Amino acid sequence: MADLSIDIRTLIKRHGATLAVDHVTLGVRRGEFFSILGPSGAGKSSLLRMLAGFETPDSGEIFIDGQLMAGVPPNRRPVNLVFQSYALFPHLSVAGNVAFGLEMKRIPRGEIEARVAATLELVQMGDKRDRRPGQLSGGEQQRVALARALVNRPAVVLLDEPLAALDQQLRQQMQVELKSIQAQVGITFVCVTHHQEEALALSDRLAVMHQGQVVQVGRPQDLYESPATHFVAQFIGTSNELRGTLRDPHVGQAILTCDHPGLSGKVRVAMPSDLQSGAAVALILRPERVRLASNGEGTAFDNAVPGTVEALRYLGSGWRCVVRITEQIAWTIHLPNHANGLVPWKVGDPVSVQWNVSDGTVLPLP
């Protein structure tokens, strides 16, 4: 397919006895910001190193820009890697670092000068071109590392945990910049990260990896709204969970009988078409999909569960409220700020937690 920058087919990589990358098939479209998200040890770094050419797959194929990469060393691949530690050459100036790739490709001197200057402007480092990496802050080093990759105009820029080494505030700022730079240059970015907020904020699409496998690929909203597995639901965003067994399926709905002690009453859920009655499942509810009402009021919602307000935190845009439902279960609920920051409850109040069948996602438990 011509519109794919990266086409990975049933890639396998073993590290000793473990499958670091387990039958991964993945396509990254031209010009998109694609993230590979997973906890550490999920195999995402190994995947990235195989894309860059530092590791060799045990089987499977990688095509970059339609070219099969088998046996192609890193210096012949149309990709450039932004290292997690930045790996800037300490003996070269900022401009020297950025020019390195072009010099290796034997680009004429004049063109190197022009491209280095333009790329340093793009990352707002034009005034620091003669500094040494040791004289730069973390954020500045990050920009130089990015410029060093971008200046070569590769088919794909690979980023290994690009913002991990930065402090929280700088992280937020660099997220915005990274995204806008990518949009400006139009080069395909593939970013490996374990930071789910970052991945959601940056990516056009992302793949979630778990134990060497790609569990789900999609846009951030797809992964958040309709996670394919229990792992994805838990890993992406905050999720409130109710575990139980499916009973009495009837016209697309079923009853969830909960295993949790202290939780009586039936919970109505959507019946997934691929599950049978009696299946062990988890109901996943996002914090903003659940409403609170004072205990005892009538409800227009499909489900209502009693609980107690345990904590309230004011966020400006609303309130983050923790409601204790049983001894084991406490849910996080996001209350929008409707009127002057007022919230009708205080810690210790009994409340009713309510939601509709369509607000939840039912996923089989492994």
Partner 1 sequence: MMAPSAIARKARKEADGNATAWLLAPGVLWTVFFCLLPLSVIFLVSCATRGTYGGIVWDFSLDNYRDLLHALYGRIFGQSLLLASLTTIICLAMGFPLAYYIARLSPRRQAVWLVLVMVPFWTNFLVRTYAWIFILRTEGLMNTVLLKLGLISAPIEILYSNTAVVLGLVYGYLPFMILPLYAAIERVDRSLIEAAWDLYADRWSVFRRVLVPLTKPGIVAGCVLVFIPSLGAFITPDLLGGARSMMVGNLIQHEYLIARDWPLGSALSMVLMALVMGAMIWYFRAQSAADGKRRAS
Please state, in angstroms and as integers, the Cα–Cα distance from residue 166 to each residue in 139, 180, 357, following that order. 7, 18, 41
Q: CB of 66: closest distance to partner 1 in angstroms?
A: 20
Chosen residue from 21, 28, 37, 52 binding partner 1 by CB under 8 A: 52
**16 lines the binding site for partner 1 (CB under 8 A):** no
H-only helix segments in 151-294: 168-185, 196-202, 220-225, 230-235
**Closest to partner 1 by CB, 74 or 336:** 74
Amino acid in the structure at residue 103: E
# binding residues, partner 1 (CB under 8 A) = 23
Structure tokens at 111: 């063109």
Contact 205, 32 (CB under 8 A): yes
Selected from 13, 44, 143, 148, the binder of partner 1 by CB under 8 A is 148
75 forms part of the interface with partner 1 (CB under 8 A): yes
Query: Considering only 35-43, 73-81, 259-267, 339-347, which stretch makes contact with partner 1 by CB under 8 A?
Result: 73-81
* Residue 276 in contact with partner 1, rule: CB under 8 A: no
Identify the CA nearest to 362 among candidates 259, 278, 261, 243: 243
Give the distance from CA 183 to its chain's centroid. 18
CB 269 → partner 1: shortest distance, Å?
A: 49
Rule CB under 8 A: say whether 71 interacts with partner 1: no
Among 146, 138, 101, 102, residue whose Cα is nearest residue 120: 146
Strands 303-314 and 350-355 come out as antiparallel
One residue of 10, 56, 74, 294 binding partner 1 per CB under 8 A: 74
Q: How far is the CB of 226 from partner 1 (least distance, A)?
A: 37
Residue 54 within binding range of partner 1, rule CB under 8 A: yes
The residue among 151 and 209 lying less far from partner 1, judged by its C-beta, is 151
Q: Residue type at 225?
A: E
CB of 64 to partner 1, least distance (A): 13
Tell me the CA end-to-end span of the chain in Å, nearest whole number: 35
**Shortest reach from residue 290's CB to partner 1, in Å:** 45
The neighbouring-strand residues paired with 304 are 354
Q: With binding defined as CB under 8 A, does residue 73 bind partner 1?
A: yes
User: Which region holds residue 263: left if phi is over 0, alpha if psi is between -120 and 50, else beta?
Assistant: beta
Query: Which residue number, 97 or 352, has a Cβ lying nearer to partner 1?
Result: 97
- For 88-110, the DSSP string reads --TTS-HHHHHHHHHHHTT--HH
Q: Does 319 bind partner 1 (CB under 8 A)?
A: no
Specify the stretch interacting with partner 1 by CB under 8 A; choose among 46-54, 195-203, 339-347, 353-361. Answer: 46-54
Using the minimum distance from each CB to partner 1, give the nearer residue, 80 or 216. Answer: 80
In 57-167, where does DSSP find H-type helix? 94-104, 109-122, 138-150
> If we measure between CA atoms, which residue out of 33, 170, 176, 187 comes closest to residue 119?
187
CB of 155 to partner 1, least distance (A): 13
Q: 42 or 79, CB closer to partner 1?
A: 79
Tokens matching residue 319: 């309130």
Task: Read off the amino acid at residue 258.
Answer: C
The answer to whether 188 contacts partner 1 (rule: CB under 8 A) is no
Residues from 85 through 144 that contact partner 1 (CB under 8 A) = 85, 87-91, 100-101, 104-105
Binding site for partner 1 (CB under 8 A): 52-54, 73-76, 79-81, 83, 85, 87-91, 100-101, 104-105, 148, 152
